[in-house]
Chains A and B, each alone.
Chain A
Amino acid sequence: MPFDDDDSPLAPGPVIADGEGGAAAVEEALEDDMPDYKLFASSFTKKGVSSQTIRKGEKDFETHGTRAQDGALESSRRALEDVLGYTRIHRGDAWARGWCFPDFWTDEANVAVDYEGMWLKDRVVVMEHEKGGWMKDIGRVASGSKDQLGVGRLWLLPEEAIYLVERGTVDLWWPYTDFETLLPKGSTSGGAARPGFGPDDYDVGLPLSLEAAYSLFIGFEDEQGKTTLPKYQVYAHLKRAGFNILRAPPEQPRPEATEPSQTLWQWLFSFVKPEVLQFGKQRQQPFGPLVAPGLYRAYRPIYQQLALIPRHKPLPVPPSASKPEDPFRVHFHVWKPGAGGFSKKNPPPPDFRIAVADTADSCLPTLEQIESLLESTPYDPAPEAWRGNPGKLYQRLKHGHRNVIVAVVDRGLVNFMRFGEGAFGEERLFERFDNRNAGRGA
């Protein structure tokens, strides 16, 4: 009998009915603090280390003196060493250089088309070569008249630049000469290095280290051309997990909530006083009991009399328009990696909206913060198929009517919490009470 709340359903033993819960917990525990060396190691099969040697299930933390265990531990240690000892090679033909021009677009002389979501003034690195398959969601090509400098080239945001440098994809350089000499108008960007501008010509610029990239592009909130460390960490975390991720465009001023036009019927009814319609409420005693004594044929009128606390009604267009404030503001739009048809120029509606909060300077959002954060996301109720299905009650409630993800960064560790706009007022369980007994016998 499912009575006992005291008992952990995950406790091992004969009680486990579905192993799903337990397995999920183990998986959850593992995915948080263990890098998946198995994946890495699988690329080292030529060295004789199979992915099977790294055990990901049971943790062997205590030697029990058997040689078999020692062997297993040793081989897994060796696999880890192989992974860590891997030499990264940069091939000459894949060399791509990015030039650091932090103030290029803030300069009035340079003009290109800027619009919502382009973040042109924040784009600080221009790519000299465009090679590789990383451009699906990284960088934007500045558009405008061909006579303008910088137009027609791929420009990177600070977080994109650091990420690419960290991956070793892009060689970031600091220019010693002006933009025009380095990247003349109308030159092709995919070709081989021009003479005098090769990887060893240090008189045109200076290669920058990863450390330099961090110090150039990590800054404070709202600093132009920079990003904050927590935001970069969230970006890198999601990029490494394979997601497509773009900066969310700034919030548009929400269209004024227009009064839905009244039908004639509604207009006629507006003359009738609400008290007359709700004659049940009229009898309500100010000091209780709310349920008037009497003969009841159903539970519905009883519970209707009990309704007292205003219930939240989720609306497609929320009435109040308060602007979300940092950190509870959607900063990234994220798409699942598998989804086809993603284009960074015309992105489809995102799968997830992510705000970034740092544990050091934020805490649990207040009602107003979470409300305005949720209201900045579109109305997203549970799927139509779930509606009216009593078996989907919990899923419906958990899905909520709007949802947003807050990435909580604790000194570099990224965790995500999903907040959903709940509406228990939409789930009136008492409506089931009246046919409960009738339906039970059948």
Chain B
Amino acid sequence: MAETQVHTEPPLVGTASPTPKGPKANAKAQSEASSAAPAAKQQARGPSLHQIYALPAPIRTFPLPAFYPNNPVSLLHIAYAWFGQVFRPPPAEPAVIHHGVWSETTISVHIKDEKSMRALWEQGFYGKGNLSRSEPNWLKREQVQRGIQEAHVSEIFTQQRREERAQAKWERARLEQEAILKTKLDEERLAASRALEGKKAEQAKAQKAREIQQEAAVPEPLPSLPLAPVGPLELLALPNSAVVSLPVPTPVPVSSFAPPVGPLQILALPNSAADIVKFTVKTALKSKANGSLTLSSHHGSSTDESEEPRTPIATDSPELFRDDRSVDSSSDGVGSTELKRRKSVRFSPTVESATYKASDPPSPNRSPPVSLSQPSQVNGHGGSNGQAIPQLPLASVPVSDPIINKEHLQLMPEEAFFLSFGLGVLEVTDPASGRVLSRQDLFRLFRQYSYFPPRNGPDEPDLEPDDGFLVHYAVYHHFRSLGWVPRAGIKFGVDWLLYARGPVFDHAEFGLIVIPSYSDEWWKKQGRRGPRKPWSWLHSVVRVLSHVTKSLVLIYVDVPPPHKFDEALKTGVAEAMKLYKVREVMVKRWSSNRNR
């Protein structure tokens, strides 16, 4: 394994050379990477999900083979299996007891043994990898990132998908802007041509008058007339008489002023003749230096005004419309910078200005141009292409180091207690003393730490039957004992998410919110009431959940009064837990419009 590692790494180093690429190149690389990805995944197909997650609980069963009445051999089969189990009985289940360590700082139980981690995850979806989203797959992820392994890692997959999505959004916004620009141009062109016709007619009239005038004067052939004047400046510059018409300056630079349309163009208009002169000199110099725009081409394009006004503005106010990337990469065509000048993303949640400053990069990821050379992975923004992901760790991690799994599985108190008290497949040790905690100790510990600050000192008030652990454990046990898979739901603003089979197989259909309830007379005398949640709270929860196509279930947990609870606790945790009542209320928004 170590050898292959060495072999696979060097080419990647080569690609990691920090040459900043143009955005187009990046996008291309990404699309290639994404198109290559499915093919690679097809190859690395391991055992199927149903094989990996075959056990619904960390307890094995030994079912006897089925008996088929029409097949007498099946009876022999059964007998064989039965005798085999009688004479060489399989170890009593649960055969494996996993070991966990109580962690006071995180109020959770840590599983550090790799086999136990996998087992608890695969057999009922318990716990969460502390370096992963849920499945403890940090090691695998790391290996994939270093190119050692070709496998499906959901976190990487998600990141890729997010980037694709961002790209798609960007593309959509670009198309939208292009469409708007196009209609705008069409409309401008239409307006301009209309104005042109009107002016031509006017000019023809004026010229007739002039000709009549000139017939009286010296009949001298006129120098070639400038093109039809369109803009206001040109109109102003029109000769009023034959005498003035002779020293007409070359109209070429002036014609670069199209009729000012936008507010910026109006602002950028020269205020005095001196400005014009300065400006014409500057543009002339610039166009010379550029070499691409010759005077004649300028001249010829005077009818096509729509594109023109931008040039002077861009040079006059470098703060606006400057595209840094296009400066860096000479390969970028003018066309693409034209498109990227005015950006306004309509679906953005934050208000953004429609124009960009010089410091804004043109890439959708909005990272400063500098960071392109040093991919920053942490925030998930840097790797705008698929290749950036494997590039990251190379600089810091020596190539031949074997990767040590730095991840552990963390179990919530409810999960740990269910595994220990319900199934009996977990032992929890106290790191301070190294002793294995008994189930009673564990029960007390979890109850103590469900308060803040923890009620574990001698002066702290007594534990109550409505502490967070008990109420939530009642719910957790209720659903686990029915075969459902509850998992922490804070990501969606609920207490628990409820999976029918587990996060690998299906999305959680329900979000649970636990509401302690005090219907016993004793509580009423005490004046204890459940949380008084406003309606707006309920609506917001339902709204958030419906956005992720889940539905809300309110779980009312009826809490027994302390005297009954303490009495029952003396006979055992099981008796005490039987006093809790769990009621589910399904909540859904009802719309009068859609129920007609």
Residues of A within 8 A of B (CB): 1-15, 21, 25, 27-28, 31, 62, 64-68, 237-238, 241-243, 284-291, 293-299, 302-303, 306-312, 336-338, 351-352, 357, 359, 362-364, 366-368, 370-371, 374, 393-394, 397-400, 405, 408, 410, 415-425, 427-434, 436-438, 440
**Chain A residues, Cβ within 8 Å of B492:** 5
| Closest CB in chain A relative to B116 CB, distance in Å | 17
- B389 on the interface (CB 8 Å rule)? no
| Min CB–CB distance A24 → chain B (angstroms) | 9
With beta carbons under 8 angstroms apart, the residue of B92, B164, B483, B497 that contacts A303 is: B483
How far is it, in angstroms, between the C-alpha of A431 and the C-alpha of B481 when the chains are bound?
11
Known: A359-B536, A422-B584. A3 touches B154 (CB 8 A): yes
| Neighbouring A residues of B589 by C-beta, 8 Å | 415-418
Output the residue of B50, B157, B481 with the most chain A CB within 10 A.
B481
| Known A13-B168, A14-B165, A15-B165; contact A8-B519, beta-carbon cutoff 8 A | no
Q: Does B21 touch A at the CB level, under 8 Å?
A: no
A15-B165, A296-B59 given as contacts; is B593 within 8 A of A419 (CB)?
no
Complex Cα spacing A424 to B475, Å: 11
Q: Per DSSP, are chain A's interface residues mostly helix, strand or loop, or mixed?
A: loop
Q: Does B592 contact A (CB under 8 A)?
A: yes
Q: Are B586 and A419 in contact (CB under 8 A)?
A: yes
Q: How far is the CB of A377 from chain B (nearest CB, A)?
A: 13
Measured in the bound complex, the distance between the Cα atoms of B551 and A400 in whole Å is 13
Task: Sort A-B residue pairs by CB-CB distance and give the 3 closest, nearest first.
Answer: A286-B572, A289-B424, A422-B584
Q: How far is the CA of A8 from the CA of B162 in the complex (A)?
A: 11
17 A–B pairs (Cβ distance < 8 Å), ordered by A: A5-B497, A7-B161, A12-B165, A31-B593, A64-B180, A295-B93, A299-B61, A309-B578, A311-B478, A366-B519, A367-B530, A374-B585, A398-B586, A400-B586, A416-B592, A417-B588, A429-B483
Q: B535 and A5: CB pair below 8 A?
A: no
Q: B538 within 8 Å of A by Cβ?
A: yes
| Given contacts A286-B574, A309-B474, A415-B539, A296 and B93 within 8 Å (CB-CB) | yes
**Which chain B residues lie closer than 8 Å to A12 at the CB level?**
165, 168-169, 172
A11 CB contacts on chain B under 8 angstroms: 165
Contact partners of B594 in chain A: CB under 8 A: 27, 31
Stretch of B62-70, B240-248, B401-409 contacting A (4+ beta carbons < 8 Å): B62-70
- Which of B227-235, B449-457, B500-508 has 4 or more CB atoms under 8 Å from chain A? B500-508
Known interface pairs A288-B573, A370-B585; A364-B535 also in contact (CB < 8 Å): yes
Q: Which of A64, A286, A421 contacts B344 (CB 8 A)?
A: A64
B279 at the binding interface (Cβ < 8 Å): no
B482 within 8 A of A: yes
Of B206-214, B294-302, B330-338, B542-550, the segment with at least 4 beta carbons within 8 Å of chain A is B542-550
User: Chain A residues near B565 (CB, 8 Å)?
Assistant: none
Contacts of B580 in A (CB 8 A): 309-310
Extra contacts, 15 of them, besides A2-B506, A364-B533, A424-B478 (Cβ < 8 A), are: A5-B492, A5-B497, A6-B133, A7-B158, A8-B547, A68-B183, A295-B89, A295-B90, A297-B64, A306-B481, A366-B556, A368-B519, A422-B584, A431-B483, A436-B56
Set of chain A residues within 8 Å of B478, measured between Cβ atoms: 309, 311, 424
The B511-566 residues at the A interface (CB cut-off 8 A) are 515, 517, 519, 529-539, 542, 546-549, 551, 553-554, 556, 558
**Is the CB–CB distance between A298 and B158 below 8 Å?**
no
Residue on A with the closest CB to B513? A364
Please, which residues of chain A bring their CB within 8 A of the CB of B87?
none
Cβ-neighbour of B595 out of A10, A352, A417 (below 8 A): A352
Interface stretch among B6-14, B309-317, B415-423? B415-423
Contact B482 A424 (CB under 8 A): yes
| B184 contacts chain A at the CB level, 8 A cutoff | yes
Q: Which residues of A contact B440 (CB under 8 A)?
A: 287
Contact A297 B586 (CB under 8 A): no
Q: How far is the CA of A12 from the CA of B168 in the complex (A)?
A: 8
Among candidates B63, B164, B529, B556, residue contacting A14 with C-beta atoms closer than 8 Å: B164
Using A6-B158, A286-B572, A288-B574 as known contacts, say yes or no to A294 and B93 having CB atoms under 8 A apart: yes
A366 in contact with B529 (CB, 8 Å) = yes
CB of B585 within 8 A of CB of A307, answer: no
**CA A8 to CA B187, docked complex, whole Å:** 39
Is there a chain A Cβ closer than 8 Å to B346's Cβ?
A: yes
Write out the residue numbers on chain B whose beta carbons fall within 8 Å of the beta carbon of A7: 158, 161-162
Instruction: Give the residues in chain A near B89, CB-CB below 8 Å.
Output: 295
Q: Does B587 contact A (CB under 8 A)?
A: yes
Determine the chain A residues whose CB is within 8 A of the CB of B162 once the complex forms: 7
What residues of chain A lie closer than 8 Å to B251, measured between beta carbons?
none
